[in-house]
Amino acid sequence: MYTKIITLVLLGLLLAACNQERNIEIDSESLTENDLEICQNTKCPEITINYLSVQGDGVVSKKINSKIRNFIISSLEIGEDENERVNTINEAATNFIESYNDDKSRFPDMAADYFAEISVTELYNSARHICFEMRQYLYTGGAHGYGTTSFINIDPKTGNQLTDDDLFKNKKDFIAFAEQKFREQQKIDENQSINASGFWFEDDNFYLPESVGFTHDTLIFVYNQYDIASYAEGPIELKITLNEARRFLKID
């Protein structure tokens, strides 16, 4: 009997610890122009936003949701008027529509309507680490639209963003290793300039994008258009398997 009680107590403690480690839930949300009041009685440019909303621990979920919301809001901003700064995704989407309407009234011969496609998806999730991929593609006039892909890594216990120091043991050593992998993937000899095949690395020195994506088996780095090459080259990805990178990592 005593053994059974001890077993039940230990099981209860284990379940409590698991719940403490995982005290948030992630739900999917979406918004289109059809959800906006401004578009109820008039045709609007297309807006498609698919994102994640974190529920649960109040402090943690608030921090994570704020990061997601700020990305979406900043993606929808047109121009640099700080007075137009908004606090909600709906307000940002409405401002985007109003900016289009204003531009359309001033330039009625615009060849195409504006549009915005934004997504925040979960790439990786563990007790110590969540990785979100953040994509945005907008057309606001001109010859073509422009999009970016970035990543954000979060500590699910605190809601804080994980820094390079949290993720890597020695970032300098990892960059040297990543350059070897980049040269292999792009077929650039180690004795050649990193820009030998037409890349635009500043001062001829290799560097990584500002953010890194994690999946269950791969690290992903995305150089967006114009980062290291022309728009026509498209985004350039560097992928490194976790097995290869593990010796440089502090986490997972």
Give the tens place of pLDDT for each residue, 107-126.
888 878 999 999 999 999 99
The model's pLDDT over 219-237, given as tens digits with 9 standing for 90+, comes to 999 999 999 999 999 999 9
Q: All domains of the chain, ordered by start, with CATH? A: 24-154 (3.30.565.40), 164-248 (3.90.640.20)
CA dist 132 and 130 (Å) reads 7
Q: Are 146 and 77 contacting, i.e. CB atoms less than 8 angstroms apart? A: no
What pTM was computed for the model? 0.87
pLDDT of 16 over the 80 cut: no
What share of the chain in percent tops pLDDT 70? Answer: 88
Distance separating alpha carbons of residues 31 and 53, to the nearest angstrom: 12
Terminal-residue alpha carbon distance, the chain: 40
Q: Would you say residue 198 has pLDDT above 80?
A: yes
Whether 19 shows a pLDDT value over 50: the answer reads no
pLDDT band at 252 (very low <50, low <70, confident <90, very high): low
Examine the pLDDT at 15 and tell me if it is beyond 50.
no
Place of tokens 């994509």: 135
CA separation for the pair 27, 46 (Å, rounded): 23
Contact call for residues 222 and 237 (beta carbons, < 8 A): yes
pLDDT tens per residue, range 65-91: 999 999 999 999 987 655 567 899 999
* pLDDT (tens digit per residue) in 32-61: 999 999 999 988 999 999 999 999 879 999
Question: pLDDT tens, 131-170?
Answer: 999 999 999 988 889 999 999 999 999 999 999 999 999 9
